[in-house]
Amino acid sequence: MKREGGFILPVTLVVMLLVVSGLLQQVALYEQERTFATMHSDWLAADQMAMAAKKHIIVLISKGEHDSLNETMSYPNGEVEVVVTPDDDEQYAVMLTSRLNEGPLRRIEFRYDANNQTITHWIEGGR
């Protein structure tokens, strides 16, 4: 029993190092997932506001209340800035910019044909 080197302490330290590093990795992954979920929720809220504004604008254009419409629509989560410019022959260029109270903004541009009641040239932009 003269050559007892004590292998329990090094083995315990290696096992603890592996456990702690695995735990830290899981915490980092959790933070990433939480951030992604928050960003996705903000994006959905901005998109929902833009779609509600789109429906409202199409109704206004259909009623004939469209002469260079430029307004801001307020919602509980934020606001949507709407710019409608008439083009030629019952064609309208519409630009929607939705801004959350806290979070990103979302831009959507499209053309609306009032004769056919169709949306064409749908373009979505980020920030």
pLDDT value of position 86: 86
pLDDT value of position 1: 52
Q: What is the mean pLDDT of the chain?
A: 87
Q: Please list the residues that pair with 97 across neighbouring strands.
A: 81, 107
- Residue 91 included in any domain: yes
- Residue 112 included in any domain: yes
Domain with 88, as residue range(s), is 9-125
Cα gap 11→21, rounded to integer Å: 15
The pTM assigned to this predicted structure is 0.73
**Higher model confidence: residue 29 or residue 42?**
29
Residue 103, burial from CB neighbour count under 10 angstroms (0-12, 13-18, 19+): middle
What Cα–Cα distance (Å) separates residue 59 from each residue in 14, 65, 66, 89?
Answer: 68, 9, 10, 18
pLDDT value of position 64: 77
For the cut 90, the answer to whether the pLDDT of residue 127 exceeds it is no
- Residue 82 included in any domain: yes
- Residue 3 included in any domain: no
Cα gap 41→48, rounded to integer Å: 10
Q: How many domains does the chain have?
A: 1
Which among 36, 11, 116 has a CA at the least distance from the CA of 19? 11
- Residue 1 included in any domain: no
DSSP letter (8 states) at residue 17: H
pLDDT value of position 98: 92
- Residue 31 included in any domain: yes
Tens of pLDDT, residues 65-97 = 666 678 888 998 899 999 998 887 788 899 999
| Average pLDDT estimate for 48-57 | 91
Which among 47, 50, 49, 42 has a CA at the least distance from the CA of 96? 50
Cα gap 107→99, rounded to integer Å: 9
